[in-house]
């Protein structure tokens, strides 16, 4: 049974999206009123924030700026139960890269995003994340946080959270607004559009909170909502073609959002959640876990200037069989004729020496890395794919050992022999096709 595959929660899409600006703010005073779609409740009087300063009303807004770019990473630790039994435990990494393509006069931001979900495997130097399924999405979001998105897009999962009131909010004040979760159930249940589960979210502005590790003060917003949704009986059930379709979806989510006052954007957030799905067949699926996420600004590196600088470094260092180019995901350094020990994915010492030099280049940039393995067209397709995946992992682990990146910023992908750069009919061509590509990711 693969029912558990329906619920890979892309939590970072909840609050840290979209655009570098994230949340904007201005401080104001005066009467608090309700916004469209929200219900704001006055707090009890006499409260101060945690820094001991007088209450300050804050106006929460998304502020979008054309061409702003961001990358969000969220890590989910999840336990999956099927009919009361533990099915598996998973560490899921959600990566979102976004760009604001347009902003209208009302301040609504049009965003284009790529969502990727990956589950981890554990290697010699810790966890390694295999590049997973990608979802493209285009949507518009208002300054208050309201989404406008077509049903052809399955991401983000959680929508209209946060949704802010129109007026400023003081510490201790609360408000509520409607939102919904949208799930991809095409494979498991044959539902060809996002499966939407509505909820009512309760918000509280908890005030300012000092983060000693970062030596910064953030605005803390708490969000909670419960889920309970009874699905209509599917038409396939009426025709006798029953699907194991969700009958009831229920659960809860409790989130904390830390907002950077100076930058006008979310810094990080955390969540505890539990989701239970009961199907028309009587199966029960339960997903419980925690999540945390952070947003990071990044600059595109695939410029002609950077390509030239890296080529010059490679030439000056005497590194052989290296190609540097712009690719569809960023700036790619291709290591051709890469040598491994016979019938294994263990790097030869000569290649480790080469990678130590390349590590000097990679440390000059902050972008995530995608390590892609390729091989010559020899042996079965299955073996080709496995060896290309294993060799990509081997390079990723060695770069982690060199402290080039945190392991959750290095992704691996195996392509087998599907993307040759030369003919497989000659030994010279096959040597070029046995390669590993290291991409500094622009998106």
Q: Is the pLDDT of residue 23 over 50?
A: no
More confident residue, 27 or 239: 239
Confidence band, pLDDT 50/70/90 cuts, at residue 246: confident
**Per-residue pLDDT tens for 288-307?**
999 998 877 667 888 999 99
The model's pTM is 0.76
pLDDT score of 236? 57
Q: Which of 219, 300, 255, 169 is nearest to 23 (CA)?
A: 219
Confidence band, pLDDT 50/70/90 cuts, at residue 243: low
Burial class of residue 387, CB neighbours in 10 A (0-12, 13-18, 19+): buried
Q: Is the pLDDT of residue 42 over 60?
A: no
DSSP state of 100: E
More confident residue, 259 or 165: 165
Burial class of residue 178, CB neighbours in 10 A (0-12, 13-18, 19+): middle
Contact 78/90 with Cβ under 8 angstroms?
Answer: yes
**Per-residue pLDDT tens for 208-220?**
999 998 889 899 9
C-alpha of 166 from chain center? 29
Q: What percent of the chain has pLDDT over 90?
A: 41
Q: Is the pLDDT of residue 33 over 50?
A: no
Lowest-pLDDT range of 44-53, 75-84, 342-351, 364-373: 44-53
Lowest-pLDDT range of 156-170, 260-274, 397-411: 260-274
Provide the β-strand partners of residue 199. Answer: 179, 227
Contact 65/103 with Cβ under 8 angstroms?
Answer: yes
Q: Is the pLDDT of residue 86 over 50?
A: yes
Could you give the CA distance from residue 180 to residue 157 in angstroms, rounded to a whole number? 8
Tally of CB atoms within 10 A around 214: 12
Contact 256/232 with Cβ under 8 angstroms?
Answer: no
Q: Is the pLDDT of residue 3 over 50?
A: no
Beta strands in 195-348 (DSSP E): 195-211, 216-230, 246-260, 265-279, 284-297, 322-326, 330-336
Q: Which of 427, 434, 343, 440 is nearest to 388 (CA)?
A: 434
Confidence band, pLDDT 50/70/90 cuts, at residue 311: very high
Q: Is the pLDDT of residue 28 over 80?
A: no
Tally of CB atoms within 10 A around 302: 20
Lowest-pLDDT range of 86-90, 122-126, 407-411, 437-441: 122-126
Lowest-pLDDT range of 31-40, 84-93, 176-185: 31-40
**Per-residue pLDDT tens for 320-368?**
889 999 998 899 999 988 888 766 788 988 899 999 999 999 999 988 9
pLDDT score of 362? 94
Q: Which of 313, 261, 252 is nearest to 288 (CA)?
A: 252
Tally of CB atoms within 10 A around 171: 22
Could you give the CA distance from residue 129 to residue 320 in angstroms, rounded to a whole number? 28
What secondary structure does DSSP assign to 22-45, as a single string? -EEEEEE-S---PPTTEEEEPPPS
Q: What percent of the chain has pLDDT over 70?
A: 81
pLDDT score of 219? 92
Q: Which of 127, 12, 131 is nearest to 70 (CA)?
A: 12
Could you give the CA distance from residue 93 to residue 181 in angstroms, rounded to a whole number? 19
- Residues whose CB falls within 8 Å of the CB of residue 424, separated by 6 or more in sequence, listed in order: 376, 377, 378, 417, 430, 433
Mean pLDDT, the chain, whole residue set: 82
Confidence band, pLDDT 50/70/90 cuts, at residue 122: very low
Q: Is the pLDDT of residue 134 over 60?
A: yes
Confidence band, pLDDT 50/70/90 cuts, at residue 425: confident
More confident residue, 22 or 161: 161
More confident residue, 392 or 120: 392
Could you give the CA distance from residue 43 to residue 50 in angstroms, rounded to a whole number? 16
Could you give the CA distance from residue 421 to residue 412 in angstroms, rounded to a whole number? 19
Segment 58-69 shows an average pLDDT of 88
Phi, psi dihedrals of residue 233, rounded to the nearest 5°: -65, 125
């Amino acid at each position: 049974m693969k029912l558990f595959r329906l619920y890979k929660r892309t939590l970072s899409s909840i609050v840290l999206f979209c655009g570098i600006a994230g949340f904007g703010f201005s401080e104001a005073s005066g009467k608090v009123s309700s916004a469209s779609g929200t219900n704001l409740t006055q707090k009890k009087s006499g409260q101060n924030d945690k820094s001991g300063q007088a209450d300050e009303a804050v106006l929460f807004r998304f502020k979008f700026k054309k061409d702003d770019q961001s990358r969000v990473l969220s890590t989910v630790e999840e336990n999956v139960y099927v009919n009361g039994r533990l099915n598996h435990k998973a560490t899921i990494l959600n990566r979102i890269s976004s760009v604001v393509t347009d902003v209208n006069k009302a301040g609504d931001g049009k965003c284009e995003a790529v969502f990727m979900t990956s589950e981890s495997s554990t290697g010699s130097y810790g966890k390694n994340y295999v590049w997973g399924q990608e979802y493209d999405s285009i949507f518009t979001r208002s300054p208050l946080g309201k989404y406008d998105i077509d049903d052809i897009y399955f991401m983000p999962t959680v929508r209209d959270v946060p949704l802010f009131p129109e007026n400023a909010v003081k510490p201790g004040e609360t408000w509520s607004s409607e939102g919904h979760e949208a799930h991809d159930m095409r494979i498991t249940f044959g539902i060809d559009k996002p499966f939407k589960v509505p909820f009512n979210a309760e918000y509280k502005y908890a005030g300012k909170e000092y983060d000693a590790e970062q030596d910064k003060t953030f605005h803390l917003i708490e969000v909670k909502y419960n889920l309970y949704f009874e699905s209509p009986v599917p038409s396939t059930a009426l025709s006798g073609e029953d699907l194991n379709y969700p009958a009831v979806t229920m659960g809860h989510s409790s989130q904390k959002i830390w907002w950077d006052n100076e930058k006008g954007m979310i810094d990080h957030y955390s969540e505890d959640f539990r989701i239970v799905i009961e199907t028309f067949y009587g199966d029960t699926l339960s997903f419980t876990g925690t999540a945390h996420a952070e947003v990071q600004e990044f600059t595109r590196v695939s410029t002609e200037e950077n390509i030239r600088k890296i080529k010059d470094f490679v030439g000056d260092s005497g590194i052989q069989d290296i190609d540097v180019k712009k690719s569809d995901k960023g700036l790619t350094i291709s290591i051709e004729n890469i040598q491994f020990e016979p019938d294994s994915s263990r790097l030869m010492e000569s290649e480790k020496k080469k990678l130590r030099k390349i590590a000097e280049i990679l440390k000059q940039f902050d972008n995530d890395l995608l390590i892609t393995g390729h091989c010559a067209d020899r042996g079965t397709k299955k073996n080709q794919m496995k060896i290309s995946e294993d060799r990509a992992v081997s390079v990723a682990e060695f770069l982690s050992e060199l402290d080039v990146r945190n392991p959750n910023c290095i992704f691996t992908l195996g392509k087998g022999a599907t993307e040759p750069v030369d003919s497989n009919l000659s030994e010279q061509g096959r040597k070029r096709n046995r390669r590993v590509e290291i991409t500094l990711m622009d998106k």
